[in-house]
Amino acid sequence: MLWILMLLAVGVCGILGFYDSLYGFGELMRMINSGILILLSLGLLLRTWVKKNLGKTEKLIERNLELEKRVEELCQLTSNQKREGIPSHYSSL
């Protein structure tokens, strides 16, 4: 919702900038438009960076869960081998 409002503000400032060029309101609209566009660009950059880092974090969490399952399986396998008396170098992992 915030991004929609920001893009709407840019559109309104674009229209006001057009009127500024027609009627000569002065430097005020140019400064406002520049400020809004800079803030919008920084916001999009920050959003992209955060999304990228969240994707990396999600992949790391998934990989961690896979490794935990694998360790649990290996621990169960070795405990079963110890109970049965099978040497570990003969097991097929």
Closest to 33 (Cα-Cα) out of 20, 48, 46, 23: 20
The domain tally of the chain equals 1
Mind listing the pLDDT tens digit for each residue in 21-77?
A: 777 666 777 777 777 778 878 888 888 888 888 889 999 999 999 999 999 999 888
pTM of the model: 0.49
In a domain, 23, yes or no: yes
**Sole residue written with tokens 């400064």:** 31
pLDDT in tens, 2-28: 667 777 777 777 777 777 677 766 677
Q: Has residue 90 got a pLDDT over 60?
A: no
Instruction: Classify residue 90: in a domain, yes or no.
Output: no
Tokens of 46: 């920050």
Q: What is the pLDDT of residue 64?
A: 95
Token digits for 28? 């005020």
Asked if the structure places residue 10 within a domain, the reply is yes
The H or E element containing residue 42 is helix 27-84
Cα–Cα separations (whole angstroms), residue 4 to 1, 7, 10, 77: 5, 5, 10, 55
Find the domain containing 20 and state its range.
2-84
Residue predicted with more confidence, 88 or 54? 54
